[in-house]
């Protein structure tokens, strides 16, 4: 066994692989032949829950990963999921990615990535496991809150700046979960059956953008199967599409326990294997990392000559390239829980909160008129940063909605009262991190409801703050929702409050749409997401009008679950095979996901994709096409400063294949003072006019007439400009 030595760098002796002035490929070429077989194998699989080995004798440090994508997960023990007991691993909890997507603000996504990267660097992390860009196919998916909505264009334009911002700190993004991981139910055993066109037009574009435009250094395989092969070692997805077609030069990382077969792990594109137990998947021996598929089983096949050394060297080359970008690069030291990071969290929350409905301008709350405010609902007092799966965090602080409202309104002399209304999930613990809250309440449901209704009759305005939480079978990894409706009899409570007080605001906290049978009885509805550390402050600022809401829905809000294509013609959650534990799930709706499905079937949503109101008003005018450039003027016609998102959709008037009625292809967000105008321009590219031709395997734009549609939501597109592709 070779003794470990420390490489001392000097101008005369620095090896090429440590010389950052040299090109990365030259450094990799120098380092690769220096490694022994055991060292090569050691760096392509885990050595602990969240790390892989370095090479001490060559001065290569341990490589540390950590969960995201909303903050840096607290440290666990070397080979246990229990907390390490650190006191310096609290973080800023940033709003969930559904909220970030709802900002429709790519520059804010870049700030998000930079702030997260700075926190990761301070904590000594080299890779953050995120962001996630799986498509919102069904509102029952428990993990939708970690993703960026239903539309591939929106997700693509938001993920690229996030990745660039994070990696500017020398911290690798790890885009997940590649791909087709669109529900949590039976996620390890679901085999997705989807046509090539839907795969390339709907489910892959955000991953492709993260790789080709964002320059992502790593990508994580999904738990599920495609073409009967697990996606952590899937020949078509990894070897053919990702590495050959997209020319991805980074590392494919397995999800924890996502590798199932040694031969497939070797040959079908997996580069680094992480996991939990004996073979990375099955519960058993601890500290058993040498038994992983890419460890001793791989070595045995190599020594027997059954697999080529060239395949191993290709994996190692990719890992070394990752190290040159991270652990073997000069990087900033980072910072933790800074005021700048909290400001980023507040800004993302403020711009992501969506004003869904505001009849008679009930909002914003006016302290001069609304002197008695009643807040109702468990989510007003429940911490949401703990729980939900791997994105659970140990936040330095979390400002609750009730506290935020009290702090803001009581300063103006407003009385803020509270009634629980219902008891949902009184617990608050995940993986050893606890909220420290005691939310137990043994009063009968009828008593809680009666108290809330009685107090509502005495209030000037009632703010109900409910929705979902991160308990099992809600917005949480590992489970899907059992129904589209709100849990804990919240519908009954909301309807009773609406009868008791006409000035009712419903704030839904969730990462998913939910059924709203009471929608017509409630004058104001706000989508509040999971807002992270600054939840209470951010929500209060929007409700009072300190911040003008400008969020837009990143998914269609269905009136009924049956209005969703996955539930109308798809076979969610799949059908279990008679002879084995595999669920085949057919995506029969094809490319018709979200608003595409609603348009095709002439269905009206409760709230459309891209919908979001403001406390001011905007007008679009002077729209025209000059060559390939569309131009439109947006004007703030109201009395408040605010931001608007101008959305551009394309319609192919006549095509040889079936195409959606319209597809989002671009958008721009602009902030305007009252009376201010700004001219926006959009370049219409060939890519924006193309569809994926499954027969040729190519993107095709057919000559002919197209319509450029401009507006502020998918159901509010008043401007139509004709465009001809020659």
Are residues 537 and 621 part of one domain? no
Is the model's pLDDT at 365 over the cut of 80?
Answer: yes
* pLDDT at site 580: 85
For the stretch 82-140, pLDDT in tens is: 999 999 999 999 999 999 999 999 999 999 999 999 999 999 999 999 999 999 999 99
Q: Is residue 529 part of a domain?
A: yes
Same domain, 358 and 494: yes
**What are residue 632's phi and psi, to 5 degrees?**
-150, 145
Q: Which of the four pLDDT bands, split at 50, 70 and 90, describes residue 277?
A: confident
Confidence band of 286 (pLDDT split at 50, 70, 90): confident
In this structure, the answer to whether residues 424 and 385 fall within a common structural domain is yes
Distance CA 275, CA 577 (A): 27
Nearest to 276 by CA among 117, 77, 445, 128: 77
Backbone angles phi, psi at 105, to 5 degrees: -135, 90
477 shares a domain with 412: yes
CB distance 55 to 39 below 8 Å: yes
Q: Which of 325, 344, 378 corresponds to the end of one domain?
A: 325
Q: Does 279 lie in the same domain as 356?
A: no
CATH number (domain holding residue 633): 2.60.40.10
Residues 538-584 pLDDT 10s: 999 999 999 999 999 999 999 999 999 999 998 899 999 998 899 99
- Residue 462 is assigned to a structural domain of this protein: yes
Given a cut of 60, whether residue 9 has pLDDT beyond it is: no
Strand partners for 705: 724
Q: What is the pLDDT of residue 279?
A: 72
Residues 358 and 300 in one domain: no
Q: Does residue 534 sit in the same domain as residue 646?
A: no
Q: What percent of the chain has pLDDT over 70?
A: 98
> Is 18 inside any structural domain?
yes
Q: What is the CATH number of the domain that holds 500?
A: 3.40.50.1700
Confidence at residue 8, expressed as pLDDT on a 0 to 100 scale: 45
Residues pairing with 624 in the sheet: 631
Mean pLDDT of 268-287: 83
Residue 205 inside a domain? The answer is no
Q: At what angle do helices 24-31 and 309-325 cross, to 10 degrees?
A: 130
Report the pLDDT averaged over residues 654-683. Answer: 98
Read off the pLDDT of residues 69-84 as tens digits, 9 standing for 90 and up: 999 999 999 998 899 9
Confidence of residue 41 (pLDDT cuts 50, 70, 90): very high
Enumerate the active-site residues: 255
- The per-residue DSSP string of 502-570 comes to S-EEEEEESSS----TTGGG-SEEEE----GGGHHHHHHHHHHTSS------SS-B-SSGGGSHHHHTS
Residue 703 forms part of a structural domain: yes
Separation of alpha carbons 503 and 489, rounded Å: 21
Specify whether the CB–CB gap between 669 and 643 falls below 8 A.
yes
Domain range enclosing 544: 352-553
Q: Are residues 621 and 535 in the same domain?
A: no
Sheet-wide strand order for 677-683: 618-626, 629-636, 677-683
Query: Does 261 fall in a domain?
Result: yes
pLDDT attached to residue 284: 72
Domain boundary among 553, 573, 604: 553
Residue 262 tokens read as 């040694």
In a domain, 6, yes or no: yes
- Please give, one letter per residue, the 3-state secondary structure of 561-599: HHHCHHHHCCCCCCEECCCCCCEEEECCCCCCCCHHHHH
End-to-end CA distance of the chain: 68
Helical axes 339-352 vs 535-544, angle rounded to 10°:
50
% residues pLDDT > 90 (the chain): 94
Residue 282 and residue 359 in one domain: no
Joined tokens for residue 141: 């998916």
Q: Is 276 or 376 the better-scoring residue by pLDDT?
A: 376
DSSP 3-state of 56: helix
Q: Are 535 and 349 in contact (CB under 8 A)?
A: yes
- The rounded distance, in Å, linking the Cα atoms of 477 and 129 is 14
How many structural domains are present in the chain?
A: 3
For residues 716 and 649, what is the distance between their CA atoms, to the nearest angstrom? 11
pLDDT at position 283, please? 72
Which domain-ending residue is among 499, 519, 553? 553
Structural domain contains residue 414: yes
- Whether the predicted pLDDT of 6 surpasses 60: no
Q: Are 334 and 121 in contact (CB under 8 A)?
A: yes
Task: Using the predicted structure, report yes or no on whether residue 11 has a pLDDT greater than 50.
Answer: no
Residues 548 and 692 in one domain: no
506-547: per-residue pLDDT in tens?
Answer: 999 999 999 999 999 999 999 999 999 999 999 999 999 999
Cβ atoms 339, 397 nearer than 8 A: no
pLDDT for 13 beyond 90:
no
Note the pLDDT of residue 281.
73
- Position 12 scores a pLDDT of 53
Please tell me the predicted confidence (pLDDT) of residue 3: 40
Pairing of strands 575-576, 433-434: unpaired
Domain identity same for 640 and 699: yes
pLDDT in tens, 190-232: 999 999 999 999 999 999 999 999 999 999 999 999 999 999 9
pLDDT, mean over the chain: 96
> 3-state DSSP helix/strand/coil percent for the chain, to nearest 5?
30, 20, 50
Same domain, yes or no: 500 and 548: yes
pLDDT surpasses 50 at 181? yes
């Amino acid at each position: 066994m070779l003794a470990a030595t420390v490489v001392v760098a000097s101008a005369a002796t620095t090896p090429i692989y440590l010389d950052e002035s040299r090109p990365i490929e030259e450094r990799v070429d120098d380092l690769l032949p220096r490694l022994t077989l055991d060292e090569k194998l050691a760096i392509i699989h885990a050595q602990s829950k969240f790390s892989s080995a370095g090479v001490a004798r060559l001065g290569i440090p341990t490589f540390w990963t950590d969960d995201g994508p909303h903050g840096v997960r607290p440290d666990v023990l070397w080979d246990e999921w229990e907390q390490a007991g650190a006191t310096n691993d609290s973080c800023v909890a940033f709003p969930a990615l559904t909220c970030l997507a709802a900002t429709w603000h790519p520059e804010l996504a870049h700030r998000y990535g930079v702030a997260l990267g700075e926190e990761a660097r301070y904590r000594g992390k080299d890779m953050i496991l995120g962001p996630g860009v799986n498509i919102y196919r069904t509102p029952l998916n428990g993990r939708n809150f970690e993703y960026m909505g239903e539309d591939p264009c929106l997700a693509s334009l938001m993920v690229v700046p996030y990745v660039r911002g994070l990696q500017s700190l020398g911290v690798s993004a790890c885009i997940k979960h590649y791909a087709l991981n669109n529900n949590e139910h039976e996620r390890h055993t679901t085999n997705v059956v989807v046509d090539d066109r839907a795969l390339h037009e709907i489910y892959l574009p955000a991953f492709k953008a993260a790789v080709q435009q964002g320059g992502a250094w790593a990508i994580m395989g999904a738990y599920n199967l495609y073409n009967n092969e697990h996606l952590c070692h899937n020949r078509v997805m990894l070897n053919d599409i990702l590495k050959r077609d997209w020319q991805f030069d980074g590392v494919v990382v397995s999800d924890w326990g996502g590798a199932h077969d040694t031969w497939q792990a070797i040959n079908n594109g997996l580069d680094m294997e992480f996991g939990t137990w004996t073979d990375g998947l099955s519960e058993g021996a601890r500290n058993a990392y040498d038994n992983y598929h890419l460890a001793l089983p791989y070595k045995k096949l190599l020594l027997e000559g059954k697999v080529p050394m060239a395949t191993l060297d290709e994996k190692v080359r990719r890992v070394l390239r990752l190290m040159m970008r991270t652990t073997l690069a000069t990087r900033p030291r980072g910072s933790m829980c800074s005021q700048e990071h909290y400001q980023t969290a507040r800004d993302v929350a403020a711009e992501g909160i969506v004003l869904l409905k505001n009849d008679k301008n009930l909002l914003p709350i006016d302290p001069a008129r609304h002197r008695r405010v009643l807040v109702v609902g468990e989510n007003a007092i429940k911490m949401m940063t703990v729980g939900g799966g791997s994105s659970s965090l140990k936040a330095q602080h979390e400002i609750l909605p009730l506290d935020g409202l009290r702090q803001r309104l009581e300063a103006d002399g407003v009385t803020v009262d509270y009634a629980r209304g219902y008891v949902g999930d009184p617990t608050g613990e995940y993986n050893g991190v606890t909220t420290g809250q005691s939310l137990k309440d043994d009063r009968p449901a009828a008593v809680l409801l009666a108290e809330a209704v009685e107090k509502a009759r005495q209030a000037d305005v009632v703010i109900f703050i409910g929705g979902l939480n991160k308990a099992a079978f809600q917005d949480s990894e590992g489970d899907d929702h059992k129904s589209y409706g709100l849990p804990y009899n919240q519908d009954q409570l909301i309807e009773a409050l609406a009868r008791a007080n006409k000035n009712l605001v419903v704030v839904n906290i969730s990462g998913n749409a939910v059924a709203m049978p009471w929608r017509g009885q409630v004058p104001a509805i706000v989508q509040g997401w999971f807002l992270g550390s600054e939840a209470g402050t951010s929500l209060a600022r929007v409700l009072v009008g300190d911040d003008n809401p400008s969020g837009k829905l990143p998914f269609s809000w269905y009136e009924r679950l049956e209005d969703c294509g996955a539930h109308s013609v798809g076979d969610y959650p799949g059908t279990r095979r008679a002879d084995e534990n595999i669920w085949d799930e057919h995506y029969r709706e094809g490319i018709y996901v979200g608003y595409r499905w609603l348009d095709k079937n002439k269905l009206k949503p409760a709230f459309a994709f891209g919908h979001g109101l403001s406390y001011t008003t905007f007008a679009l005018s002077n729209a025209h096409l000059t060559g390939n450039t569309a131009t439109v003027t947006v004007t703030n016609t109201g009395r408040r400063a605010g931001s608007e998102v101008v959305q551009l959709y394309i319609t192919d008037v006549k095509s040889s294949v079936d195409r959606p009625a319209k597809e989002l292809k671009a958008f721009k967000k602009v902030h305007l003072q009252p009376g201010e105008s700004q001219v926006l321009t959009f370049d219409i590219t060939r890519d924006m006019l193309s569809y994926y031709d499954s027969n040729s395997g190519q993107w095709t734009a057919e000559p002919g007439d197209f319509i450029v549609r401009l507006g502020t939501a998918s159901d509010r597109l008043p401007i139509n400009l004709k465009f001809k592709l020659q």
